[in-house]
Structure 1
């Protein structure tokens, strides 16, 4: 081979390498939200790619029930995407501890989130953050505005007003006062106990005290919500014990019930199904003027595969996810899933606006059982499902429930022993 041909060959190699380097980087995103595919394809991906030429996104969701197993298999095989959509707390913490998720603490935009927002995707000591918070869901009550107007009802703000409203609806007889069943159990805990409970245990103050062992599940502030749930029994209509979660949704959207103990994720479906105007009110306080507390529960985040071949591009995308632009797109495309960044987002959906407005008035917390306290057996989250349902049905007293839950937690959790 002559020097000339060697030079041409080397030049060709250099051009090929330069061309490869200049080509677009494609980031693959793993997620369980397969119902979000059109949102990513039509809104999120075009918005990001328009601002970041050279980085392409590919959203590849799995079925929700299969996501954890499928993702773990891909990670173990080295075939997982660059970006990993994160479930809250222990599932994602396990991925980080196994070396699958990168530490993102050095991303400047992480400062856009509160400690509560970041808590679902941090190590227990808060020293490392491994997912950028995307959205939370907020708990409260959705109500039928037509029914309230028909009965001359005002939105309740205190617990006494709340039960007075329920009494009026029940006495009128045209509506079931409140649509919720106990058949599936989880909603009794999620939209019942962890909806009203933060008012009693003062949100983060009580939740963190339970984790530290300073408070116990037999303390009044943890038992009292079960007593309140027991009072709900008289307002749930006949046969609530056999009523499933879809049953409750249908009862409300068909206009048969006046109030629905809710998570904000119901908003898109209710908007489609209900032919009446809806409003929302936050969990009632004990007395007028008391501090209000809401469960503003961290639900979804996104992190970086520690083995990604494109870490710089992935970090660029994650910084954008932490931006107000992403928050505005996501919050309006999925009303009821609320961006977690500190920058306020202008939401278009009126019901979503109501839920989000409570952040300015109330102290935010997360569901009491989700961080640390459900790692052992018995699992406190699952035990709380049964306890909340039992409280409503009246099959156990609040004190019995508190004692049973405390015994279970103390059997494996050292700070409670």
Structure 2
């Protein structure tokens, strides 16, 4: 859920051992394939235990050693190992980490791999650096509005709101009925940023990112509707900004939503399986209703985790075999179903779920936009946006220009190749 600033990648450091990590098998045995990931086999994140067991069965000649490293520790674990020449053969990546490592020459060029032409064309910029492909992108993850349909029905609300005015009306109706409406846990800043990005999906015009990167646009004016929408939640006492800053999205909000205590919550589709297993009510995942009256909600997607190969891999052939295996239709489907994600491959259909059908329909209709945080040519964009959006919670009555001016000073695009 969290990504680390690029500065942490580039900083020199002393090799550290991440707690709870298994051996990476750096002994050089040509039959050993070392893989490091923030998806754990022990908890079977993304069904990786199933996937790896299938790989071991299909390729008994390869000894797969799979290491879990928690995402917050990712760069402090891997960066010194790259410097020392002891990094794993295969590494889980995202766009920021891919650019950081590829720009330093740490990743192998995978442009000639058979799965490259099978990946969807619009994902090419997320998998390339300097015109070369360095990662297999495994998932396209929607983030949206989870709705407790039972609580909505108790308040006399027949359907999930489709626009921002309808959403505000629904929250006011829930409040009048004594039903908690919108859970906005912003400890750490991630949730506030996601909601801001969901609002930006509707309010920020196409082409703004490119203009901002080129120095021809700013947050001021363009992002005012995003800030004003947040302020409306606070001004109408529909969300308590001070309370939100003390609540964690996973520790606090997720258990409460699953227990049926809130009508709405923003989260990624990766939480859907867990919610469906634990919730005793009807739940749906919907495109966020951030637009004006008469508009259609836009699905918002985060181009998720991928896989790359160490340029100095001790077992490069086995590493490529592993990526080919992950990109096969059967295995890609297992991963996507576990993550409730959308496919990145032209020949692999996205899994469908009745609970996520509303957001699937938005995707199918083309009402979708990628995360601005991933599109900006500021490797620290997510961290910068978190800091900027947090200002709304800290100063909920301040004019929108205070926040947009702060964002202008924080988000600094670079000329990435």
Aligned to 2:402, the other structure's residue is in SS state helix
Aligned to 2:383, the other structure's residue is in SS state helix
CA shift, 1:178, in A, is 0.6
Q: What's 2:104 paired with?
A: 98
Q: What's 1:217 paired with?
A: 219
Aligned to 2:351, the other structure's residue is in SS state coil
Q: For 1:15-61, what per-residue CA distance to the aligned partner results, in whole angstroms no more than 9, with x for missing partners?
A: xxxxxxxx994322111223566466642123334555644533222
CA shift, 1:143, in A, is 0.9
Which structure has the highest helix share of the two? 1
- The answer to whether the Cα contact below 8 Å between 1:37 and 1:59 also exists between their aligned partners in 2 is no
Matched, 1:130 2:134: yes
Q: Equivalences for 1:65-104 in 2 at 5 Å? A: 65-86=72-93, 88-104=94-110
Q: What's 1:147 paired with?
A: 151
Matched, 1:405 2:411: no
CA shift, 1:194, in A, is 0.9
- The answer to whether the Cα contact below 8 Å between 2:219 and 2:405 also exists between their aligned partners in 1 is yes
Q: What's 1:394 paired with?
A: 396
- The answer to whether the Cα contact below 8 Å between 2:257 and 2:265 also exists between their aligned partners in 1 is yes
Q: For 1:61-109, what per-residue CA distance to the aligned partner results, in whole angstroms no more than 9, with x for missing partners?
A: 22333332222232223222221111x2332212112222111112231
Distance 2:328 2:301 in 1: 20
Distance 1:252 1:293 in 2: 23
Matched, 1:112 2:114: no
- The answer to whether the Cα contact below 8 Å between 1:335 and 1:349 also exists between their aligned partners in 2 is no
- The answer to whether the Cα contact below 8 Å between 1:181 and 1:248 also exists between their aligned partners in 2 is yes
Distance 2:241 2:48 in 1: 45
The 3 A distance-change label for structure 1 pair 270 and 219 is same
Distance 1:73 1:223 in 2: 42
Moved more, 260-269 or 34-43: 34-43
- The answer to whether the Cα contact below 8 Å between 1:75 and 1:100 also exists between their aligned partners in 2 is yes
Q: What's 1:193 paired with?
A: 196
Distance 2:81 2:336 in 1: 30
Count residues with an aligned counterpart: 380
CA shift, 1:183, in A, is 4.1
The 3 A distance-change label for structure 1 pair 250 and 49 is closer
The 3 A distance-change label for structure 1 pair 385 and 72 is closer
Distance 1:166 1:289 in 2: 19
Q: What's 2:33 paired with?
A: 27
Q: For 1:242-290, what per-residue CA distance to the aligned partner results, in whole angstroms no more than 9, with x for missing partners?
A: 5412333343223222111222233244334432221122122635774
Distance 2:180 2:388 in 1: 24
With the length of structure 2 as denominator, give the TM-score of the two structures. Answer: 0.80
Distance 1:400 1:381 in 2: 19
Q: What's 2:18 paired with?
A: none
Distance 2:170 2:60 in 1: 56
Aligned to 2:323, the other structure's residue is in SS state helix
The 3 A distance-change label for structure 1 pair 414 and 97 is closer
Runs of 4+, deviation exceeding 6 Å: none
The 3 A distance-change label for structure 1 pair 322 and 214 is farther
Aligned to 1:162, the other structure's residue is in SS state helix
Moved more, 29-38 or 318-327: 29-38
Distance 1:95 1:414 in 2: 16
The 3 A distance-change label for structure 1 pair 42 and 61 is closer
The 3 A distance-change label for structure 1 pair 318 and 223 is same
Q: Equivalences for 1:223-262 in 2 at 5 Å? A: 223-233=224-234, 234-236=237-239, 240-245=243-248, 246-262=251-267
The 3 A distance-change label for structure 1 pair 310 and 354 is farther
CA shift, 1:239, in A, is 5.6
Structure 2, unaligned stretches of length 5 or more? 1-28
Aligned to 2:374, the other structure's residue is in SS state coil
Q: For 1:182-222, what per-residue CA distance to the aligned partner results, in whole angstroms no more than 9, with x for missing partners?
A: 443221112x101221111146x3333322333321133x2
The 3 A distance-change label for structure 1 pair 364 and 311 is farther
- The answer to whether the Cα contact below 8 Å between 1:90 and 1:371 also exists between their aligned partners in 2 is no
- The answer to whether the Cα contact below 8 Å between 2:213 and 2:413 also exists between their aligned partners in 1 is no
